[in-house]
Amino acid sequence: MNDARNWDVVVAGAGPGGSSAARESARRGLRCLLLDAKKFPRVKPCAGGISPRARGVLRRLGLWDKVAAAAYEIRGIRLGAPSGRETVLVGAGSAVVFDRPRLDALLAAEAVAAGATFEDGRRVLGVVTEGGRVVGVRTDAGDVRARWVVAADGANTRFSTDPRPRHVLHSCMAWFEKFPFRPHVLEMFFDAELSPHYAWLFPESDDRVNVGLCVEADRHAGTPIREVFRRFLERHYATELAAARPLGEWRGHPMVVTDVVEHHAPAGVLLVGEACRLVNPATGEGISYAIESGLHAAGFVADALEYGGDPLAVAKRYERSLRWKLEPGLRGGELFRRWGVGLIDPLVRLGQSAWFRRWAKQAPAT
Ligand SMILES: Cc1cc2nc3c(=O)[nH]c(=O)nc-3n(C[C@H](O)[C@H](O)[C@H](O)COP(=O)(O)OP(=O)(O)OC[C@H]3O[C@@H](n4cnc5c(N)ncnc54)[C@H](O)[C@@H]3O)c2cc1C
């Protein structure tokens, strides 16, 4: 059955990008419908690392206190180099880990509190077009008409018309409880087998961690990513795993990354977050970019509804503003991906040296 309501904007996908776009749209007085294919709370394969960049964005939105109150604070890092050397550095808290089902439920609830309507368990199947312009979406429960569509449906987007080959990282991850780990310390291993990417352990609470890895899609052609992950677990965590209890299945998900921001979508659609490939090519960080692009998209939609304008010209201006705002971080990631891994070993050696540890007030190296 078709939706008789007339929306200003329909947002497809309620990850951080979609919920932020919906919240901002509603705050600007737009009638906004937020749709997600899955019933919430839903599992999202993601380490849940809230970087300093994401913290800044959440702070600007006035959401940081809520996130920080429910998240797990990180005060240090155990860093493993390709040579096998490693060090542990601790300092003031600068990041947190927040498990994605709860983070995404919180952001969706914020969108609803701002006035958006959220319908989960409703899959978007495609666009509805009239006169060469998108005027809504088709869903598994009928068509929805809207003056603008924000596409926030993630890595496997149905909306992007980007002709560039996709740069994909493969990932595999798992969750455990009773896994021995240093409290408030995250772990990153730049193993030679994963280079230039890495594997991680992110604590989500005093008793729960997620462990995973990401690699270039063609890095282990012919070897299933689960096998690469199994080998990694065996190399680094054989002892800890004997004590740990797995929580659920191992999960894999593509990360679609880029260092060059381009926007390719039908007229009347703005892409945000990973649907627009806004994921750091070195670290896989995407939450902050999704939120920032969601806010931008909502601003451009609100302005277009108020002042008018050709939808493709609006999309071009949106692309320029994303490029200006987000591309420096993504470019920095690409530089690190190409040349940065060579810095990890010297950094770890520095971290191990007695004078540095005294100067930086670290515990003696073990
Ligand atoms: C293993 C892994 C670990 C990661 N770790 C981190 C990390 O620690 N920190 C970080 O910043 N980033 C991390 N990322 C990247 C981050 O998860 C993504 O970049 C981020 O979630 C993108 O947000 P988004 O809102 O664009 O899309 P998503 O979060 O992917 O949300 C898309 C939403 O759209 C919905 N959807 C999809 N198709 C449809 C449809 N047809 N109709 C309706 N709804 C639909 C989905 O159910 C989903 O809820 C990681 C990614 C992976 C794969």
Domains of the chain, CATH where assigned? 6-49+99-164+258-338 (3.50.50.60), 73-98+166-255+340-359 (3.30.9.10)
Task: Express each pLDDT in 312-321 by its tens digit.
Answer: 999 999 999 9
Read off the DSSP letter of residue 293.
H
Q: How far is CA 258 from CA 66, 163, 223, 336, in A?
A: 30, 13, 24, 13
| Residues of the chain under the 50 pLDDT cut | none
Q: Is 44 in the pocket of ligand 1 (CB under 6 A)?
A: yes
Task: Express each pLDDT in 330-364 by its tens digit.
Answer: 999 999 999 998 999 999 998 888 898 888 888 88
Q: How far is CA 273 from CA 14, 108, 155, 182, 255, in A?
A: 11, 15, 9, 32, 11
Selection from 223, 235, 230 nearest residue 246 by Cα: 230
Q: Is 274 in the pocket of ligand 1 (CB under 6 A)?
A: yes
Q: Is 287 in the pocket of ligand 1 (CB under 6 A)?
A: yes
Angle at 334 between CA 91 and CA 211, to 5 degrees: 50
Q: Is 281 in the pocket of ligand 1 (CB under 6 A)?
A: no
Q: Is 18 in the pocket of ligand 1 (CB under 6 A)?
A: yes
Nearest CA to ligand 1 atom 10: 285
Q: How far is CA 141 from CA 109, 125, 127, 219, in A?
A: 22, 10, 14, 41
Measured from the CA of 278, which atom of ligand 1 is nearest?
19
Q: Which two tokens stand for residue 186?
A: 């995250």
pLDDT at position 363 is: 81
pLDDT at position 5 is: 77
pTM, 2 dp: 0.96
